[in-house]
Amino acid sequence: MADNSFWQSRRVCVTGGAGFLGKVVVRKLRERGVKDVFIPNIEDYDLVKLEDINRMLNDTNANMIIHLAAQVGGIGANREHPAEFFYNNLVMGVQLMHRAWETGVEKFVAIGTICAYPKFTPVPFNEANLWDGYPEETNAPYGLAKKMLLVQAQAYRQQYGYNAIFLLPVNLYGPGDNFNPKSSHVIPALIRKCIEANEAGLEEIEVWGDGSPTREFLYIEDAAEGILLAAEKYNGPEPVNLGSGYEISIKDLVELIARLAGYKGSLIWDTSKPNGQPRRALDTNRARNYFGFQAKMGFEEGLKNTIEWYRANRN
């Protein structure tokens, strides 16, 4: 349960606050009574540039930063832009946390990624396994760039007593997701593909890989709730997973989305394309024990909501 009295004196800067997750985090902050929420848009503040970070910190006078801003995408985007994904995410996060500490921002909430885990992490992924190997190759540059924020948060806590926390959300989905075929993740990409195939009368659609990998997904409302519970209640050095506890194979996911979207054609698996990490599912005990977070949205209901939103808003 949120403590609204905690939030009413907070001045919160949400980087990436205009994005998919950011919009929900900002709405929930306002529902908690936060009157001073600052959303730096990319046109005014390029957070890869130190001078823009300094100007943003001066303009916000925030006492908490929730750092959601990131350059992200699916397997294709990660393979095409590994250098950009590494450099932009690393430089943005490291400079921002350093200057937040230097300028007296009381708390820094760093959002990592499931891509930080080693390729062959035992399932369910436990935070203790984060350093047991190299991440899955297609998204390793992105995953490692974000993982450095954990190293930084722990180092700054150790040396300076700085209150920076690090959260590891699993793949997100829900209304408002990115449905651009060049940069979208698996759920919005499949929803769009099924709906467009239906309208075009296509008898088959192509899907990457062989369908064997598994994934876990977290509904956007649940993710935002987990982040704000941690921002309010958690002040420790350990990384914390945010997940739903529900694992599904890509094959079952594609068949479920096709059914919910009303697509009855054939699914053709392009096994020349990469599968990505073999399995992904999180141990979510730490989030439940440390700050009482547990996902509420059922997966099929969340998918229905996402499909309905896309149908209503795609134009």
- Per the domain annotation, does 8 fall within a domain? yes
Structural contact between residues 153 and 101, judged by C-beta atoms closer than 8 angstroms: no
Single-letter code of the amino acid located at 96: L
Looking at 125-275, which runs of residues are DSSP E strands? 163-169, 171-173, 204-208, 214-219, 240-242, 247-249, 266-270
Please state the pTM of the whole predicted model. 0.94
- Per the domain annotation, does 255 fall within a domain? no
* Tens digits of residue pLDDT in 182-239: 778 889 999 999 999 999 999 999 998 999 999 999 999 999 999 999 999 999 999 9
- Per the domain annotation, does 204 fall within a domain? no
Q: By CB neighbour count within 10 A (0-12 exposed, 13-18 middle, 19+ buried), where does 23 fall? A: middle
Q: In CATH, what number is assigned to the domain containing residue 152? A: 3.40.50.720
Per-residue model confidence (pLDDT) at position 2: 62
Supply the range of the domain harboring residue 73.
Answer: 4-173+218-246+280-296
- Per the domain annotation, does 202 fall within a domain? no
How many domains does the chain divide into?
1
- Per the domain annotation, does 274 fall within a domain? no
Nearest to 108 by CA among 148, 147, 44, 156: 156
* Tens digits of residue pLDDT in 268-295: 999 998 887 788 899 999 999 999 999 9
Output the CA angle 10-11-14, nearest 5 degrees: 115
- Candidate list 117, 142, 234, 263, residue with the active-site label: 142
For residue 50, name the pLDDT band (cuts at 50, 70, 90). Answer: very high
- Per the domain annotation, does 153 fall within a domain? yes
* Tens digits of residue pLDDT in 148-189: 999 999 999 999 999 999 999 999 999 999 998 877 888 999
- Per the domain annotation, does 92 fall within a domain? yes
d(CA 233, CA 245): 21
Judge whether 134 counts as a catalytic residue.
no
- Per the domain annotation, does 11 fall within a domain? yes
